[in-house]
Structure 1
């Protein structure tokens, strides 16, 4: 039985090393790392990514798949939920680094199955909502720049990735403290406070530098 960590890196602010460090800090031990580098999470399905295809080739019953968050496993609600269920049907256990969630297809109790499936649906929907928010912020920023018709000072390069903005807001909404959020996402407390002060400004800044 193998444990595989899957990482997706789509921006310069994200690194495989950081995701590996986060997994180890969460107490997770893995045998292999499969990576998709420079791949957009909101446009390309998991099965269409090189690393994603490798996951489907490698994972067998009894194996464990570790991901930073469920949004790593697809580009939208349907893709994420379908992939999680496809892996569970194979007998693969899925674990997330953030919040330490576990999705196991071996559950036999109907109530446990119902709660698990409802949670999968909710998390997949949340992932899509985060992706849609990012895309809308990008569109707004691009439109604003075109209207001005001039080169705009971008300000200091942000120390956070686009996908981390919604994760900060979500984790705080779940009652996580700023220190805990910063530790989970590999950010400074000052950065977390800056994002929380104005998520829309944070999106605009990340989009501009992207």
Structure 2
């Protein structure tokens, strides 16, 4: 039996280092790391990704697949639920770093199966909803940029990076307190409160500045 960490980043300039660090900090030890770089979780199914295909080839019954959260498998509800169910049918145990969930196809009790499947559906739906919210924020930023014809006022540059934003959201999802998140991310408590109270607005501000950077490059 082996434990495999699967990581995915959406752009080629991102790294999987923080996903691996999160796994190790949570106490996971793995035999190998499989990662896809610059691959969208919205438009590309896991089985269609270069390393996603290899993942299905190497996993065997009794193996454990570790992911930061189900959104690393995908951000499409049908794809994520189908993927986890297929892995469970093969006897693979799926574990998430965030929330510490375990999905095991060996469960035979009908009530436990129902609870497990409901959790899979909820987490997959949440992953898709987050992707759609991010896409909407980016689209709004693009439309705003077009309307201003390059003369838009972006406001103050966000005091957090994409990585800090995602890490803070991960820690918030785990129920961690503001002080711990501030210490872990290097952000101020005030910034963490903003990310917690209005994540959509925080995502929008970040997306606009990212867009501005791409347009000026």
What secondary structure, in the 3-state scheme, does the structure 1 residue paired with 2:91 have? coil
Report whether the alignment pairs 1:140 with 2:112.
no
Distance in 2 of aligned mates of 1:128 and 1:162 = 21
Work out which of the residue numbers 154, 164, 167 in structure 1 matches 2:169: 167
Count of equivalent residues? 206
CA offset at residue 12 of structure 1? Answer: 6.9
**What TM-score do you get using the length of structure 2 for normalisation?**
0.84
Instruction: Give the 3 Å change call, closer, same or farther, for CA 153–182 of structure 1 in structure 2.
Output: same
Which has the larger Rg? 2
Distance in 1 of aligned mates of 2:100 and 2:192 = 21
What secondary structure, in the 3-state scheme, does the structure 2 residue paired with 1:34 have? strand
CA offset at residue 177 of structure 1? Answer: 1.8
Instruction: Give the 3 Å change call, closer, same or farther, for CA 136–123 of structure 1 in structure 2.
Output: same
Instruction: Give the 3 Å change call, closer, same or farther, for CA 182–66 of structure 1 in structure 2.
Output: farther
Distance in 1 of aligned mates of 2:170 and 2:58 = 32
Please list, as runs of the form range in 1=range in 2, the aligned pairs for 1:19-168 lying within 5 A after superposition: 19-152=19-152, 155=157, 158-161=160-163, 164=166, 167=169
Distance in 2 of aligned mates of 1:165 and 1:26 = 14
**What TM-score do you get using the length of structure 1 for normalisation?**
0.87
Gaps of 5+ in 2: 212-217
Instruction: Give the 3 Å change call, closer, same or farther, for CA 18–166 of structure 1 in structure 2.
Output: closer
Distance in 2 of aligned mates of 1:22 and 1:166 = 12
Gaps of 5+ in 1: none
Instruction: Give the 3 Å change call, closer, same or farther, for CA 151–142 of structure 1 in structure 2.
Output: same
Deviations 1:26-46 (A, max 9, x none): 001100000001112222111
CA offset at residue 122 of structure 1? Answer: 0.6
Deviations 1:108-136 (A, max 9, x none): 11111111011111111111111110111
Name whichever of 80-89 and 43-52 sits farther off.
43-52
Q: Is the 8 A contact 2:158 2:206 kept in 1?
A: no
